Amino acid sequence: PLFEPTGRNTAAAVALATLRCLSEYGDSLMLVVPSDHEIATEQQFWRSVENGTAAARAGRLVVFGIKPSQPETGYGYIEVAGEKDGIYDVSRFVEKPDLVTAQSYLTAGNFYWNTGIFLFRASAMRDAFTAFEPEIWKATEIAYQAATSDLSGLYMPLELYAAIPSTSIDYAIMERASHIAMVPAGFRWNDLGSWQSLLDVGPSDNDGNVIVGDVVAIDCENSYIRSDSRLLSAIGLKDVAIVSTADATFVAPVSRSQNVKQIVEQLER
């Protein structure tokens, strides 16, 4: 395992894993999978990954896309063009759209939800970093070369790792690289990035609530209510998320999950 002493977003994490792969396993294929996603069909997942290996071995960065079933505004999209042997050419990545735009993507038929799952040769990602984000690559390399290890894994020095520019792999590489390939995902996928998604995948009661921990909920509907410490009581709530931890409490409409990041950024400041 590789241990980050502080979060520097996904570009640093991918650069670090790529360095590790090159030094320990050579120019192997690498698969990047976000940890906060639900993949419910394991066999179909690995079959989809296998479908992308030929393009990845040829040196292309490969992304997996989900054919949209509704005009979802909480996901990023991939626009694709030509197709050969089940592999599509990516025209562009698109940020989370508004409802009208998302509906137009659905109608167009050549847009896919971006799962954020990537497959590539380690050398292809290294070359992309040196072309587009050499500063991130160099800073990560310095931190990696100074790492210490014990039985549990490899540890980066805090001061060196904190010096790596913080940005996402999407902004740093995927939205700038050319000749990216897309494989349609044949697996069930849910980005657990919204309260609604947690309601969709969690064990719900007869009123559509997902209750976690020491909670008393009376006359509540379609709400995500979680307590990690003391008793949490709620009455007459609908479409609301409440999360109570030992040191903080969060309350918001289920539909406003995108604003959580703003709160986190404000707290960090």
* CB burial string 182-201: b at 16+ within 10 A, e below: bbbbbbebbbebbbbbbbee
Ordered alpha helix ranges (H), the chain: 9-24, 42-51, 53-57, 99-108, 122-132, 134-145, 158-161, 169, 195-201, 260-268
Cα–Cα distance for residue pair 254/234, rounded to 1 Å: 15
- Given CA atoms 230, 246, 38, 114 in this order, what sign does their dihedral have? positive
Enumerate domains of the chain plus CATH numbers. Answer: 2-191 (3.90.550.10), 195-268 (no CATH)
pTM of the model as a whole: 0.78
Q: Is 12 exposed, middle or buried (0-12, 13-18, 19+ CB in 10 A)?
A: buried
Confidence of residue 70 (pLDDT cuts 50, 70, 90): confident
Lowest mean pLDDT of 11-15, 167-171, 265-269, name the range: 265-269
* Model confidence pLDDT, tens digit, residues 14-69: 999 999 999 999 999 999 998 877 777 788 889 999 999 999 999 999 999 989 88
Could you report the per-residue pLDDT of 190-221, keeping only the tens digit for each?
665 666 667 676 778 888 899 999 999 999 99
Across the range 93-98, mean pLDDT stands at: 89
Residues in the chain: 269
Average pLDDT of the segment spanning 171-191: 88
What value does the CA radius of gyration of the chain take, rounded to a whole number of Å?
21
